[in-house]
Amino acid sequence: MSLAAVAEKDFQDAVRSRGMIALVAVFSLLVSAFAFVVRPGGQGGEQFATEMLLSFFVGPFLVTTLVPLVGVVVGYNAVSGERESGSLKLLLSLPHSRADVVFGKVVGRGAALALAVLAGFLLPAVVLIVAPVSFNAGAYLGYTVFAAALGIVFVAIAVGFSAAATTQRRALIGGIGIYVLFVLLWGAVTGQFLDAASPILDPLPVSTQQIGVFLQVANPTTGVEVLTNAFLGEQLFSGERINQQVSAVSMLVFWTIAPPLVGLWKFDADDL
């Protein structure tokens, strides 16, 4: 139960913080603004009111840009902050292993961010419900869950950097670096890689296009976009792109587990 105790404490600290409350308020107001702008065109019915709002407004402008950034901010000082303040030694003097600390913080802070995302979507839901349009509650709720999952992935990545780094500054640099790579530069970087590596990749039993598709879903933000678009189009885990969707889920699981494990490996080797 040591992991659960660490997770509970971090969850409580996170949800009570002013930063998390401010996040819920800002995110809710922004999504509500998009919902209000889309509302007048709601004569198009249910699809326009919900799926168009989420796919073409909320997703590109908020979820795949703001949620990952908040995940980094929530997680980067999880371990490194306590290491700098000296409270980490006190925490480890209790019956907590270092693995309990790392994964407890992933669970606690990830759950807090997921709750904030869910709360942030509540007010926009009310805007759409009271608007003179048909509201697809199932699509809206499902999309919210995917957005929360994306936040959890970036919390896990940031906590991994936090566990491996000796200072908050280094942890923040690592988290921001991965954010910039995934959110801003991934398409350009993978495109250049495929162009440069094509002579090596051509003899392989897989095509360059297949490798490109895999690299696309290897990015958690793109992976979530693939899954949400399939979900909103009622083609989740069906149709011609089922393999791409399975790969996207696999990569989301990978990014949730691998960075904390690597951070724990470095953390275990450090002399505090």
pLDDT tens figures, 21-34: 877 788 788 777 77
So what's the pLDDT on residue 133?
A: 62
Q: The whole model's pTM is what? A: 0.89
pLDDT tens figures, 236-252: 888 778 888 999 999 99
On the question of pLDDT at 69 being above 60, the answer is yes
- Tell me which amino acid residue 111 is: A
On the question of pLDDT at 42 being above 80, the answer is no
On the question of pLDDT at 57 being above 70, the answer is no
Those residues whose C-beta lies under 8 Å from the C-beta of residue 262, and which sit 6 or more positions away, are 160, 164
So what's the pLDDT on residue 157?
A: 96
Average pLDDT over residues 47-61: 69
pLDDT tens figures, 93-111: 878 788 999 999 999 999 9
- State the pLDDT confidence band at 132, using cuts at 50, 70 and 90: low
